[in-house]
């Protein structure tokens, strides 16, 4: 079916506001990953879901960041009290399983700008 989709494509917000970013993985993919790509930086791992649980949250930069996944499908990344340094492209990826041979397929990302 369709690839990974993310919404919104672009988000401009004011410092201090909360934002929610959505990811729809490829249908049937059980593993879901969030990454962040800041200007001039490589993609940075944030969090990993297997089903609805998040066994690896080690990349979340602060407690202002949280994520959830429901129904083993859609995931939402929430950033509370946004700061200017949160401005980046937030990318979601999914894979069929978390097995060692599985490839991660990326969505187009959400470009977040915090003013």
Partner 1 sequence: GQNIDQPTEMTATEGAIVQINCTYQTSGFNGLFWYQQHAGEAPTFLSYNVLDGLEEKGRFSSFLSRSKGYSYLLLKELQMKDSASYLCAVRDLGEGGGNKLTFGTGTQLKVEL
**Residues at the site binding partner 1, with contacts judged by CB under 8 A:** 3-4, 31, 33, 35, 40-45, 48, 50, 53-56, 58-59, 91, 95, 98-109
Closest CB to partner 1 among residues 3, 16: 3
Please confirm whether the linkage preceding 8 is cis (ω < 30° from 0). yes
Short-list 105, 87, 85, CA closest to 95: 105
Question: Would you give the end-to-end CA distance of the chain in angstroms?
Answer: 37
Closest CB to partner 1 among residues 20, 56: 56
Least separation in angstroms between residue 10's CB and partner 1 is: 10
Cβ proximity of 78 and 20 under 8 Å: yes
Closest CB to partner 1 among residues 55, 61: 55
Short-list 38, 36, 77, CA closest to 54: 77
Least separation in angstroms between residue 8's CB and partner 1 is: 14
CA angle 7, 25, 110 (to 5 degrees): 25
Closest CB to partner 1 among residues 1, 101: 101
Least separation in angstroms between residue 109's CB and partner 1 is: 6
Least separation in angstroms between residue 9's CB and partner 1 is: 10
């Amino acid at each position: 079916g369709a690839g990974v989709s993310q919404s919104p494509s672009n988000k401009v917000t004011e410092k201090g506001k909360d934002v929610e970013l959505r990811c729809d993985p490829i249908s049937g993919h059980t593993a879901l990953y969030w990454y962040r790509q800041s200007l001039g930086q490589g993609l940075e791992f944030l969090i990993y879901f297997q089903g609805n649980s998040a066994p690896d949250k080690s990349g979340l930069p602060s407690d202002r960041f949280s994520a959830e996944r429901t129904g083993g499908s859609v995931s939402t990344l929430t950033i509370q009290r946004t700061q200017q340094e949160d401005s980046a492209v937030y990318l979601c990826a999914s894979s069929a399983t978390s097995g060692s041979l599985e490839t991660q397929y990326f969505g187009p990302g959400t470009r977040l700008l915090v003013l």
